[in-house]
Chains A and B, each alone.
Chain A
Amino acid sequence: MLESIWFVLWGVLWAVYFMLDGFDLGIGTLMPFLAKNETDKRLMYHSMGPYWNGNEVWLITAGGVTFAAFPATYAVMFSGLYSALMLILFALILRGVANEFRDKVDSPRWRGIWDACLFIGSFAPALLLGVAFANIFQGIPIDQAGVFQGNLFSLLNPYGLMGGVFFLLLFTVHGAVWLALKTEGDLHHRAATLAAKLWMALVVVAVAFLVCTWFYTRLYDNYLRNPFLFMVPIVVIPFLVVGALFMLRVYMARGHWWKTWFASSALIVGVTLFGVAGLYPNLLPSSLNPAYSMTIFNSASSPLTLKIMLGVALTLVPIIIVYQSWVYHFFKDKVRAADLAHEEGY
């Protein structure tokens, strides 16, 4: 039971991470395509300035919780996906430092370097997180001893790459929508137009991904086998995936940008939960032999640790949600070019 509760929390943490950091990564990826001048760039940086750092902590927490609750899975997953994970980490370093350093020196060359770092540091994690999760849904070649029998290139299989493109589209739509709600004038219109275009691509890839999931993964088998789990696709797919995808476009057309952003968030959460719930009780299925899979049962921490950590999580996570929500609310106003000069932030 404790293991299952932690499984749910684990899935939720990843979903929240993708939902929050997704828009920053999306904005960073779109920067070279959306920003026409220095002011646009500053507005884009500024639109995520107060948030990206707090958002990234959800990744640290998702990692930390994997370590605390399922240490053996943490060990196999992170060592197995070594190269992909290192690339994500280096990229996130560049992204973070770009945000902080870019405006500290008044030189176009200096800013150009950090703009490039922001793009790489946003694009690469968006793509690679998708590749990694698609591979987890599909199963990765781990042997009986939990040793990874593939390499970086074996992760770049068709389904893995499709997952990467899917995440990239999810995050860029999410980022374009965020930008549309945080800006006004020309940049707002360009972001809105791009969001609508990307949405069409997203629909195509989302459908293709859900269909391919049938062929490449055992997620649906798992759902069909387990009557309780069967509720997940029945609820999640129509409401959180199809419904959110649809409402996203509806709100967008009406210019309700906050609602659009919440629909986009629901979509990201829905996709993550759909995939993660389908794994249950696996955390990391083995593609070599299902018996080698890392499950919540063979990799969980002791009941004492799980209990203590549950107490910690149930106390602190609501508090975190309260103060992070306050921060989102506090900085909810649109960023304007006129404000940039006064700001101390970056």
Chain B
Amino acid sequence: MDVLMLSRLQFAAATIFHFLFVPLTLGLSILIAIMETRYVRTGDEEYKNMAKFWGKIFLINFAIGVVTGITLEFQFGTNWSRYSTYVGDIFGSLLAIEATLAFFLESTFIAVWAFGWNKLSPRAHAVSIWLVAIASNLSALWILIANSWMQHPVGFTIRNGRAELTDFLAVVTQPFAWHTIVHTLSAAYILSGFFVMSICAYHLLRKQHITFFTKSFRMGLSLALIFSVVEIVQGHMHGAEVAKVQPVKLAAMESLWETTAAAPQYLFLIPDEANERNSVSIGGIPGALSMLAYHTPDATVKGLKDFPKEERPPVTLSFLSFRVMVALGFLFLLLTVVGWFKRNKLVESPGYLKIMLYAVPLPYLAAEAGWTLAEVGRQPWVVYGIMKTSDAVSPIASSQVLISLIAFIGIYSLLGAAAFYLIISHALKGPQVEAVAAS
């Protein structure tokens, strides 16, 4: 394999792995902050115990998120040096702002929170977890602004053989970035809600710590329900934005080959990339795709054949990841709406709890599918329309990348296994055991 393919695989592996841990950090930090705030307001020790129980899981998850994030920042230099030189003026500064504004705050106050249970007043302790929650979400915001610039570059000019910043505000305020931010953060909150509900379901099914886990479940449920609604409404708007700025990605994710007026949306479809057609397309709703993308039923949607072959993204992967993401998004809404009606009789709903216990991998799958669509759907560009991925790679020996890729996979697998084991064993132990251990 050549250095390009190896570097792409390495970056994909590192990003996918990193994003297994990031969403939970974003959402769970907020839930813990709310728990501690309730503890401060009501003095109810149960909220403190909740913050401690979920906080331990948070710390395990957070550790992996942090260490795997660092390698991502440095990989732009190690593996994508031509990219870094070409767009560093804009992209590099966004990463540097993220580090100084958010990452410092997050990393400093997580330690204050973790080591400060007995040293800080409850109020100050709650403030420290709020700072962590705000900082980690701010951190995501800047990273997503940077990613959105790769999806839809604005506020720059090509000068001195590279992209140079001309309008910082345009980069930071562009609608595409804010769509991405709302979309990704909502996904993170849904995932966090499902994560919490899954662990609660395990204990509620065994009828242990019922009030503790009912309260936790409802908090997770509220978060997931609210953001499942947000995600679907906003996801539709996000799709319309993609149609506007990345028409070829839209064509790929819908597997639309011919430019079509009043384009239909098919309920079932199998793309046949080799022959530039769909081998199966069943259940077309006339005009639905035009309606979704452009808000008029007879709008013309550009097909893949309108784009040169070498500028099309992989169709099957984009198409599949899009469908998986959307289908799961609707499933999350369904499950959380059902949960809302069962919120006062959770223990009496073992069937629902069982579903929620095993549903936890789904939001992870949805989040990774979303990123796959965003990144694979942007190919062959690394920065849409201005730089191809193949022009971005470092001039280094492929053997170096092969070795580091193997090391990445090896180390990350072990870390993933260790984190998974720790989180599961801690989650299944429940809060009572913890109180015994501490005394």
Chain A residues in the interface with B (C-beta under 8 A): 49-51, 53-54, 56-57, 59-61, 63-69, 71-72, 74-79, 82-83, 85-86, 89-90, 92-94, 96-97, 99-101, 104-105, 145-148, 301-302, 304-305, 308-309, 312-313, 316-317, 320, 323-324, 327, 330-331, 342-346
CB within 8 Å of A: which B58-82 residues:
59-60, 62-64, 66-68, 70-71, 73-74, 76-79, 81-82
In the complex, A86→B103 CA distance in Å? 21
Most buried by B among A65, A66, A79: A79
In the complex, A331→B425 CA distance in Å? 30
In the complex, A200→B43 CA distance in Å? 56
B3 to chain A, nearest CB (A): 11
B270 lies within 8 A of chain A by Cβ:
no
- CB-nearest residue of chain B to A51: B111
Whether the Cβ atoms of A316 and B101 lie closer than 8 Å is yes
When distances are taken between beta carbons in the complex, the residues of chain B under 8 Å from A94 are 411
A122 to chain B, nearest CB (A): 14
A186 to chain B, nearest CB (A): 24
- CB-nearest residue of chain B to A316: B100
Whether the Cβ atoms of B82 and A75 lie closer than 8 Å is yes
Chain B residues in the interface with A (C-beta under 8 A): 52, 55, 59-60, 62-64, 66-68, 70-71, 73-74, 76-79, 81-82, 84-85, 87-93, 95-101, 103-105, 107-112, 114-119, 159-160, 162, 164-166, 168, 394-396, 400, 403-404, 407, 411, 415, 418-419, 422, 425-426, 438
Most buried by B among A60, A94, A323, A327: A60
Task: Assess A93 versus B103: contact at CB under 8 Å? Given A67-B77, A75-B88.
Answer: no
Most buried by B among A53, A61, A323: A53
Contact among A49, A302, A312 for B89, CB-based, below 8 A: A302
Contact among A72, A92, A343 for B88, CB-based, below 8 A: A72
Task: Assess A93 versus B71: contact at CB under 8 Å? Given A51-B111, A302-B165, A323-B108.
Answer: yes
- CB-nearest residue of chain A to B101: A316
Given A64-B92, A68-B93, 19 additional A-B pairs, CB 8 A: A50-B111, A54-B111, A60-B99, A61-B99, A67-B88, A68-B95, A76-B81, A82-B404, A93-B67, A93-B68, A146-B81, A301-B88, A302-B89, A308-B93, A308-B165, A309-B97, A317-B100, A320-B104, A344-B55
When distances are taken between beta carbons in the complex, the residues of chain A under 8 Å from B400 are 82-83
Task: Assess A53 versus B164: contact at CB under 8 Å? Given A79-B394, A344-B52.
Answer: no
A262 to chain B, nearest CB (A): 20
When distances are taken between beta carbons in the complex, the residues of chain A under 8 Å from B116 are 330
Contact among B59, B74, B117 for A100, CB-based, below 8 A: B59
Whether the Cβ atoms of B93 and A301 lie closer than 8 Å is yes
- CB-nearest residue of chain B to A100: B63
Task: Assess A105 versus B422: contact at CB under 8 Å? Given A79-B77, A301-B89.
Answer: yes
- CB-nearest residue of chain A to B100: A316
B36 to chain A, nearest CB (A): 13
Whether the Cβ atoms of B164 and A67 lie closer than 8 Å is no
